[in-house]
Structure 1
Amino acid sequence: MARRYLFSDESGDLQFRATSQVSRYFAVGTLLIEEPELGELRRALATARDELAWAKHGLDSTFHATTDSQYVRDAVFEALKPIDFRVDVTLIDKPKAQPKIRPDEPTFFRYAWYYHLKYLAPRTLKANDELLVVAASIGTKKGRAAFRGAIEEVMTQCVPFRVKRTLAFWRDESDFGLQAADYCTWAVMRAWERGDDRSLKLIRDKVYSEYDIFKSGTQTYY
């Protein structure tokens, strides 16, 4: 039996139109880590935050890859390097998504999560494991309820029934695990959206999968 933590992050937007302000991909990324290593991760990022502040690179709030400077990003990836965890990212090429799977945001969100956990769960979880899924708190109160329901439904469908599972929604700033998941998902998404794999190379050994579920599709809808 193992106690595991699955920190998640989503990257890209939930809009479906062809403009430069809308992402091509939507991604679900997760960082799977066991309890001892999570302690190491939290200590490593706390130390990195303090050292950055001493070097006059103090954060306004918390680590967030999209808005952090490259100097800060490099420090975060360096801190994560010696820690044992796995990252998996499932991507959806949004122009190839049929309208029937995106009638509203929660439905499309559930679809992405379903394919992510369908792949990940049987490869990483065993009977009698304990799993805490920690998702970043997003949207309005009503929206969070819909997204929470989507993840709970997918967990029931995809996580083996003998795995004890719990779902929590925490704010990004409340845990370094969520901030690490943000960084790793951002690195993968950056490579797919912009062709910039500089950051991805720094965590390449931790990324077990990065898969576009519509990779073989040719039909686009916008």
Structure 2
Amino acid sequence: MTDELSSCVLPTLYIFLDEGGNFDFSPTGSKYFTLTCVSLYRPFTLHTVLDTYKYDLIEHRLDPRIEMEYFHCADDNKFVRGKVFSMLASSVPHDSVDSVVIEKRKTGPALQPPEKFYPKMLSYLLKYAVEKAPHGVGEVVVITDRIPVAKKRNAIEKAVKILLVSMLPAGTPYRVMHHSSRAHYGLQIADYFNWAIYRKWEQGDDRSHKTIAHQIRSEFDIFMKGSRHYY
């Protein structure tokens, strides 16, 4: 009976969030801002592979200046970055990555404050991720990197909670957690995917993006139909 009941329990959906770009909406700021999420179910098989590779790097001392505490795409050297992208391409389930791309010059002034911007953009991103979850949802756990600015952190939590309450079946549990990316491979994976997507849009460099394109389920330019949006 216990085995029969456990087989009917829907799995927990883990959603790891990362972002690219800055909040400078002047001409000197980044052209784009990206929000990317990776949706995964346990077991996290890639975590073991990444952990093994991290210790290989430590033992082989490929670059003695790097302590290799964790993977961070922008800081990792070209060799490490290429290897990690190849592991993501072979181990992360297809269609598990969603991204919202925002062309910042089209963002009206009323939408630019973080407490306005985040709820709007996150609602598009997470709604799609949860609705397209392939194995159903028993619980939703949204994990972001630690956020030092309280206003921004509160805006994210508010957006996630409002959205999940509105779309999940009554009684479905959910949580929003802020972990250090150093301590969680899920966030490091999200960082790599977001880096590839952001670099494609911001710099026109899609070399890494091509490697992991089959993992990307959606990559939506939120303002593609209009020249400027006010909210």
Per the normalisation by structure 1, the TM-score is: 0.88
Alignment partner, residue 148 of structure 1: 157
Q: 1:106 Cα shift?
A: 2.0
Q: Which residue of 2 aligns with 1:62?
A: 70
Please list the CA deviations of residues 14-71 of structure 1 after superposition, one character each: whole Å capped at 9, or x if unmatched: 221111xx211111101111102x1x12101101111222332344532111111111
Separation in 2, partners of 1:12, 1:101:
16
Equivalent residue, structure 2, for 1:25: 32
Count how many residue pairs are aligned between Structure 1 and Structure 2: 216
Which stretches in structure 1 are left out of the alignment for 5+ residues?
A: none
Deviation larger for 7-16 or 211-220: 211-220
Q: Which residue of 1 aligns with 2:91?
A: 83
- Aligned counterparts of 2:228 and 2:151: Cα–Cα separation in 1: 33
Structure 2 residue aligned with 1:130: 139
- Check 1:27–1:160 CA distance in 2 against 1; reply closer, same or farther (3 A cut): farther
Moved more, 168-177 or 141-150: 141-150
Structure 1 residue 90: deviation in Å?
0.7
**Matching residue's letter, 1:68:** D
Q: Alpha-carbon deviations, 1:161-192, whole Å to 9, x = none?
A: 45432211111111011000000111111111
1:169 alignment partner, SS class: strand
Q: Which residue type is aligned with residue 72 of structure 1?
A: V
Percent identity between matched residues is 31
Q: Which amino acid aligns with 1:8?
A: L
Query: CA contact under 8 A between 2:118 and 2:155: conserved in structure 1?
Result: no
**2:218 paired residue number:** 209
Q: Which letter maps to 2:98?
A: D
Post-superposition offset of 1:127: 6.1
Contact preservation (8 Å) 1:131, 1:166:
yes
Is residue 2:61 matched to residue 1:51?
no
User: For residues 117-140 of structure 1, what are the alpha-carbon distances to aligned partners after superposition, in whole Å with 9 as ceiling and x for unaligned?
Assistant: 232222227765222111111223
For residue 105 of structure 1, what is the aligned residue in structure 2? 114
Q: Is the 8 A contact 1:48 1:75 kept in 2?
A: no
What's the offset of the Cα at 1:153?
Answer: 2.7
**1:10 paired to 2:19:** yes
What amino acid is the match of 1:91?
Answer: V
Write the distance in 1 (CA, Å) between the matches of 2:204 and 2:151. Answer: 35
Residues of 1 paired with 2:132 and 2:166: CA distance? 15
The RMSD of aligned alpha carbons is 2.1
CA drift of 1:111 comes to 1.3
1:64·1:182 contact (CA, 8 Å) conserved in 2?
yes
Alignment match of 1:94 (pick from 85, 104, 117)? 104
Counterpart contact for 2:14–2:140, Cα < 8 Å: yes
Contact 1:127–1:163 (Cα < 8 Å) also in 2 = no
Given that residues 223 and 229 in structure 2 are in contact (C-alpha distance below 8 angstroms), is that contact kept between their aligned partners in structure 1? Answer: no
Residue 220 (structure 1) shift? 7.6
SS where residue 186 of structure 1 aligns?
Answer: helix
User: What 5-or-longer segments of structure 2 have no aligned partner?
Assistant: 1-9
| Most deviating of 195-204 and 77-86 | 77-86
Q: 1:202 to 1:162 in 2, by over 3 A?
A: farther
1:182 is the counterpart of 2:191: yes
Output the CA distance in 1 between the equivalents of 2:30 and 2:100.
15
Conserved 8 A contact 1:126-1:163: no
What is the identity, as a one-letter code, of the residue corresponding to 1:32?
S
Given the two structures, how large is their TM-score scaled by the length of structure 2? 0.84
